[in-house]
Amino acid sequence: MRPLSRLATVTLGAGLALSAPTIALAQEEVTLGFIVKKPEQAWFINEQQAATALGEEQGFEVVRLAGEDGQQVLSAIDNLHSQGAQGFVICPPDVRLGPAIMNRAEQYGMKVVTVDDRFVGPDGEPMETVPHLGMSGYKIGQQVGEALAAEMEARGWNPEEVAALRITNYELPTAKERTDGATDALLEAGFPEGNIFDAPQQNSDTASAFSAASPVFAKRGDYEHWVIYALNEESVLGGVRASEQYGLGAEDVIGVGINGSGAAFAEFSREAPTGFHGTVAVSSTMHGRQTAENLHAWVTEGDEPPANTVTSGTLMTRDNWQAVRDELGL
């Protein structure tokens, strides 16, 4: 049997009393799930590994599962139930699946915490009853827009002669919040709204962004300087790769992403700089560890996590990426 949870170390001789259900949970093995929508992406790999490491430290098991569509998520929940899990952390493949996911979880008596993407109810509003930990999408986006504006100024670019590629996925509320934040920050800095061009993507990866961005560059060849932003760094990288295909060099492109993962590290490690200028890094390790810790405390102690916890980001560039990575534990 694994070590007992923290509750099991409290002695009744100290004058404290535990309820029968709490004592039972303290004495049995605790199993929690961690379901992510893109298990191959570095961000989610880090989250799941951090949760697993915490479980090893505190004596509970973390079952890592993929949930790339609704059916796979429901199957993952069934899987967790068969293993005796008391709850799970999830980044859903579609935030609108929230009611269906909660219905299945409640059938099994499981507690649920969302990470990164928040459940949305039938009314289109966030499901406030499900504890969530994630970024403030709009504020993170603002940091992106501010970084783009600052680098344009540093390069001496005239905003009137610059085009902005906004790689979008408006079906995902988190994506819209991020790109809206970046857009508003650019406009506030004096960037002309008519110079912003949308590239709707079907997914959130580099290939999808490349396919979305290529036609925009093909139609707007009259612009020599570009800024690129999107919901994550993988999408920005897709835009940068598309810009290279159309003959734009690193000196002509400023791309700023969001996350701070292996994709950015690989780009910063290249011998020659590219149009990928930076990324607003957030600690995926912290997201994984904190949500697992919150869920474990909820399961074993009845301590429900806050309804909505938001984290901030740090601009990571080719010049400081290693120091930021160490600081954030990425």
- Report d(CA 246, CA 127) in Å as an integer: 43
Phi (first) and psi of residue 259, to 5 degrees: 145, -75
Query: What pLDDT was estimated at residue 28?
Result: 66
pTM above 0.85, yes or no: no
Q: What is the CA radius of gyration of the chain?
A: 22
Strand partners, 33: 63, 88
- pLDDT tens track of the chain, all 330 residues? 333 333 333 333 333 344 444 444 444 689 999 999 999 988 899 999 999 999 999 999 999 999 999 999 999 999 999 999 999 999 999 999 999 999 999 999 999 999 999 999 999 899 999 999 998 889 999 999 999 999 999 999 999 999 999 999 888 888 999 999 999 999 999 999 999 999 999 888 999 999 999 999 999 999 999 999 999 999 999 999 999 999 999 999 999 999 888 889 999 999 999 999 999 998 889 999 999 999 999 999 999 999 999 888 999 999 999 999 988 877
Domain borders along the chain are: 31-130+284-311, 137-281
Same fold yes or no, 31-130+284-311 and 137-281: yes
Q: Which CATH number fits domain 31-130+284-311: 3.40.1120.10, 3.70.10.10, 3.40.50.2300, 2.40.10.220?
A: 3.40.50.2300
Query: What pLDDT was estimated at residue 41?
Result: 86
Q: Which CATH number fits domain 137-281: 3.30.390.10, 3.40.50.2300, 3.40.1350.10, 3.20.20.20?
A: 3.40.50.2300
